[in-house]
């Protein structure tokens, strides 16, 4: 099965600066519960080349900081992927895990959305289950230079008794560092080839 419609995205307190073009400052929008944070940047990679880096577990494991486990649970449809991810976390958080439904919405721009599904998989020992996460990556070709304009949005409640104000305080730095790690990876010509698809844990796909 081909990967382009199987999302493996990128969130959950992602863990700095971009070198191609500096990212705009993270903007914050007050909302009930977790606030929404937004980060914009231009990455020096084509849209077609960037999508697999965001979608394939093989790529994500190589560039996302702190990943312990990343498993496809199932593929509900050709554009949806249900994923279990366990991550280390920077101080003051303990390790977190999350079950998240990722979906690609094709068109111009391409939008990759993520929605937490915390009850879709049993709790695992040693990690606090993230009770709420949602966000998106909006990707659009930058005319004339082969780059991709990226808008990264996220809202996260990390759970485990961490005050929301504290989680929100750390969110901008984590997003900036995640985007920097992504750019460093797409610039690396020695990165591992990830052309083979990974089966879902339940054997779907």
- Categorize the per-residue pLDDT at 106 as very low, low, confident or very high, splitting at 50, 70 and 90: confident
Domain membership flag for residue 147? yes
Domain membership flag for residue 2? no
Query: What pLDDT is attached to residue 201?
Result: 62
Query: What pLDDT is attached to residue 112?
Result: 96
The tens digit of pLDDT for each residue in 2-35 reads 333 333 334 433 332 223 344 568 999 999 999 9
Query: What pLDDT is attached to residue 16?
Result: 27
DSSP string for residues in the chain: --STTS-----SS-----SSSPPPPPEEE--SSSPEEEEEEEESS-HHHHHHHHH-HHHHHHHSTTEEEEEEEEEEETTEEEEEEEE---TTPPPEEEEEEEEEE-SSSEEEEEEE-TTSS---TTSEEP-EEEEEEEEEEPTTTS-EEEEEEEEEE--TT--HHHHHHHHHHHHHHHHHHHHHHHH-TTPPP--SPPPPTTS--
Query: What pLDDT is attached to residue 199?
Result: 59
Domain membership flag for residue 146? yes
Report how many domains make up the chain: 1
Query: What pLDDT is attached to residue 90?
Result: 64
- Categorize the per-residue pLDDT at 197 as very low, low, confident or very high, splitting at 50, 70 and 90: low
Q: What is the mean pLDDT of residues 177-196?
A: 82
Query: What pLDDT is attached to residue 181?
Result: 92
Domain membership flag for residue 15? no
Query: What pLDDT is attached to residue 198?
Result: 61
The tens digit of pLDDT for each residue in 53-104 reads 998 888 888 888 788 999 899 999 999 999 999 987 666 667 899 999 999 9
Domain membership flag for residue 179? yes
Query: What pLDDT is attached to residue 13?
Result: 35
Domain membership flag for residue 104? yes
Domain membership flag for residue 118? yes
Domain membership flag for residue 180? yes
pTM, 2 dp: 0.80
> What is the span of the domain harbouring residue 82?
27-187
For position 120, which CATH number holds? 3.30.530.20
The tens digit of pLDDT for each residue in 137-154 reads 999 999 888 899 999 999
């Amino acid at each position: 099965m081909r990967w382009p419609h199987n999302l493996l995205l990128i969130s959950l307190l992602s863990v700095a600066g971009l070198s191609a073009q500096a990212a705009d400052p993270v903007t914050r929008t007050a909302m009930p519960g977790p606030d929404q944070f937004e980060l914009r940047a231009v990455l020096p990679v084509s849209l077609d080349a960037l999508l697999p880096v965001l979608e394939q577990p093989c790529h994500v494991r190589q560039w996302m900081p702190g990943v312990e486990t990343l498993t496809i649970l199932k593929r509900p449809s050709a554009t949806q992927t249900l994923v279990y991810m366990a991550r280390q976390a920077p101080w003051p958080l303990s390790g977190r895990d999350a079950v998240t439904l990722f979906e690609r919405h094709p068109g111009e721009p391409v939008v990759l959305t993520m929605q937490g599904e915390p009850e879709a998989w049993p709790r695992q020992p040693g990690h606090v289950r993230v009770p709420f996460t949602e966000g998106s990556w909006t990707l659009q070709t930058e005319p004339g230079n082969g780059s991709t304009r990226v808008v990264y949005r996220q809202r996260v409640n990390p759970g485990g008794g961490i005050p929301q104000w504290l989680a929100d305080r750390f969110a901008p730095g984590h997003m900036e560092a995640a985007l920097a790690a992504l750019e460093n990876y797409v610039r690396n010509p020695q990165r591992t080839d990830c052309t083979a698809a990974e089966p879902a844990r339940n054997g779907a796909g």
